[in-house]
Structure 1
């Protein structure tokens, strides 16, 4: 049997406890409210960092992504969210880390690499901002680049139904069915010196695009 990830390495007891309580409540509600079902958890590495690369059709894709693993999953957040100490402590425990708006590209890169090097899973939407429609849009190379620099796998994820749970412009969250399909890990091919060429990163991004589209189509077919 394939081991599924359950660890909390590198986190304080208080942080782990807070995460478990909030995650249990949030994911329990989300799964019941959306009748969520998840396939492919066996593809998640048991230990170490990895990049979770989901399709992105709704703001609720972020909390939905938190339900795929019991480990604390990391996300980027605007540094203004840490203005108040109590709020900052809470969202940090839930996996978010601050990035300054004025230096997003460089700071985000450094922080994402630090998260992966620390052995933690990181969510990165390779389409960038949320998109509309059944076709996965052209992907940025960020997921492949980070994976190549940290030597971690990329986990493609298809999420179907989130655009009906919270459509673009909606002010409410609706009780619609959500289906998640997690794909097999992808790795960036590296040279003997341990570095990935630009062509290798581009090739991995193209492969990732194909996989996310396949998983998204599969997930969509299972919620009708």
Structure 2
């Protein structure tokens, strides 16, 4: 109930204030485990991604946010769970894999932090690892534009990345790195298609 309420409120905000444009949302499977990986340019990115899709999106969020009473209450109801940045957080990985096992949709920002320039930063390997370790579909997405009043913000979802060739090989750091590079390449292509 809370998620649907907040999603509707954010949709109205993005439509009225930022003239948002959503492309390719039909490429995100309507059911089953999915990992949506997107670039990160603003604190409003998670609700933007969540508002663009019909399914609930569960996000990893930095654990510091869960120590702020009002923010913690809000993001928990928006489907977020904590992740410790700067190290391999086994608890967060376990939570993510359990959610995907239950057929949920996971939202991840591979860069781990916002880009101040709008350019793609260095990606962490967690998203690729989670997608390979599970049976999830991996969908790239890109946000372009600026969160300025009456400006225009765009989110474009790309075609799912076929992980079959990667899953046929034994999973190791080289495989995870290859998927990470492919994923970030797809996100960059989506950014360029949107003019960002």
Shift of 1:102: 10
Cα 1:87–1:198 shift into 2, 3 Å: closer
Q: Which stretch has the larger CA shift, 96-105 or 56-65?
A: 96-105
State the superposition RMSD in angstroms.
2.6
Partners of 2:3 and 2:65 lie apart in 1 by: 21
Shift of 1:88: 5.7
1:121 pairs with 2:98: no
Give 2:20's aligned residue: 36
Give 1:145's aligned residue: 129
1:63 pairs with 2:47: yes
Shift of 1:220: 2.6
TM-score normalised by structure 1 residue count: 0.75
Q: Which stretch has the larger CA shift, 134-143 or 91-100?
A: 91-100
Contact 2:85 2:112 in 1 (8 A): no
Contact 1:159 1:180 in 2 (8 A): yes
Contact 1:143 1:154 in 2 (8 A): no
Runs of 4+ that moved beyond 6 A: 100-104
Partners of 1:183 and 1:80 lie apart in 2 by: 29
Give 1:93's aligned residue: 77
TM-score normalised by structure 2 residue count: 0.85
- Residue 186 of structure 1: which of 146, 161, 168 is its match? 161
Shift of 1:211: 0.6
Give 1:207's aligned residue: 182
Partners of 1:88 and 1:132 lie apart in 2 by: 24
**Which of the two has higher C-alpha Rg?**
1
Contact 1:49 1:119 in 2 (8 A): yes
Partners of 2:114 and 2:74 lie apart in 1 by: 25
Give 1:197's aligned residue: 172
Contact 2:7 2:47 in 1 (8 A): no
Give 2:34's aligned residue: 50
**3-state DSSP of counterpart to 2:140:** strand
Shift of 1:187: 3.6
Query: Alpha-carbon deviations, 1:172-213, whole Å to 9, x = none?
Result: x63321011110111432137xx5333222211111121110
Contact 1:73 1:122 in 2 (8 A): yes
Give 1:174's aligned residue: 149
1:136 pairs with 2:120: yes
Which of structures 1 and 2 has the larger relative contact order (alpha carbons within 8 angstroms, sep 6+)?
A: 2
Partners of 1:204 and 1:145 lie apart in 2 by: 8
